[in-house]
Amino acid sequence: MKKRLVGLIPATYTPFTADGAVDLSSIGPLTEQLLADGVSGLYVCGSTGEGVSLSTAERRQVAEAFTSATRGRVPVIVHVGHDSLTEAAALAAHAAEIGADATSAMPPCYFPIRDAAMAVECAAAVAAAAPKLPFYYYHIPAMTGVAIDVVDFLKQAGDRIPNFAGVKYTANTLQEFQECVAFDGGRFEMLSGYDELLLPGLAVGAHAAVGSTFNVAAPLYRRLMSAFAAGNLDRARQEQLRAVAMIRVLMRYPFHPAMKAVLAMIGTPCGNCRPPLPTLSRADEQRLRESLDAIGFFTWARPHASPAAI
**Residue ranges covered by each domain of the chain:** 7-218
Q: What is the pLDDT of residue 302?
A: 76
Using one digit for the tens of pLDDT, what is the confidence trace for 186-231? Answer: 999 999 999 999 999 999 999 999 999 999 999 999 999 999 999 9
pLDDT at 236 over 50: yes
In whole angstroms, give the CA distance from residue 159 to residue 147.
21
Q: What is the pLDDT of residue 306?
A: 44
Q: What is the pLDDT of residue 208?
A: 96
Q: What is the pLDDT of residue 1?
A: 37
Would you call 13 a catalytic residue per the annotation? no
For range 137-159, the mean pLDDT: 97
Using one digit for the tens of pLDDT, what is the confidence trace for 23-56? Answer: 999 999 999 999 999 999 999 999 999 999 999 9
**From 136, 168, 169, 253, the catalytic residue:** 168
**From 13, 43, 136, 138, the catalytic residue:** 138
Please, what CATH class does the domain formed by 7-218 belong to? alpha beta
Least confident of 95-104, 225-234, 300-309: 300-309
Query: DSSP character for 119?
Result: H
Q: What is the pLDDT of residue 109?
A: 95
In whole angstroms, give the CA distance from residue 63 to residue 228.
33
The angle at the Cα of 139, spanning 64 to 238, to the nearest 5 degrees, equals: 90
Using one digit for the tens of pLDDT, what is the confidence trace for 101-124? Answer: 999 999 999 999 999 999 999 999
Complete DSSP assignment for 194-226: -GGGHHHHHHTT-SEEEESTHHHHHHHHHHHHH
Label residue 305 by pLDDT band (50, 70, 90): low
pTM: predicted TM-score of the whole model, two decimal places: 0.95
